[in-house]
Amino acid sequence: MSDFFELAASRHSTKIYDPSIKISEDELTQLLEVAGKAPSAWNLQQWHFLVFNKEETQQRLLPIAYNQKQIVEASAVICILGDLEGNKHIDPVFDPGVSAGELTPELKEILANQIQGAYNRPEYPRDAAILNSSLAAMQLMLAAKATGWDTCPIGGFNVNALISEFQISDRYLPTMLITIGKPLKAARATDRLPIDQLITFAK
């Protein structure tokens, strides 16, 4: 397994893929399982993964993503969907812990009240959907790199067209597309701002 710091430093956004290379559904599922271990508020896992791994569906996605060729040349594309109704996961997330004696019913009720209070705030569902699904997205890209696949996150796509074409429930907010594949051309390493420009130590 790659050293994490080497792995993180070597991950760059790849936009030119070898279209002849496919990724199996089993391997995609394994990568998404790792992505799903990302942290989330109250462990509600406010994400869903919409997988494009067939030529026909990737072709349908192409104009929605403004004809970026990587959409059809990548081995697969994952649409990260943020869950606007993560509070519906309260029982499936907490009940196993209650049954195992790891969580008291009283504590579950306290947590459930906290969650429902947050989801009653108008801005919270969208903020939580974006924040938590982005954590899963980054974990997916690192998992892919660790297993020899390159990725690229894409924010440039027509959200309304995506929702309409693929009949996405209004429960979900598309937050990004992630292409996965093997590069035909090495990704360009980009410069970073000096870290001292990005850090403020609170006083």
pLDDT at 2: 56
| Of 11, 135, 6, residue with least CA distance to 83 | 135
Question: Cβ(185)–Cβ(173) under 8 Å?
Answer: no
Domains detected in the chain: 4-84+123-197 (3.40.109.10)
pLDDT at 185: 83
pLDDT at 186: 82
User: If you search the block for the tokens 């429930």, which residue do you land on?
Assistant: 169
Separation CA 80–CA 6 (nearest Å): 26
Split the chain (203 residues) into runs of 10 and give each run's mean pLDDT: 83 95 98 98 98 98 98 98 98 98 97 98 98 98 96 98 98 98 87 93 96
Question: Is residue 59 within a helix (H) or strand (E), and if so which, with residue range?
Answer: helix 55-64
pLDDT at 187: 81
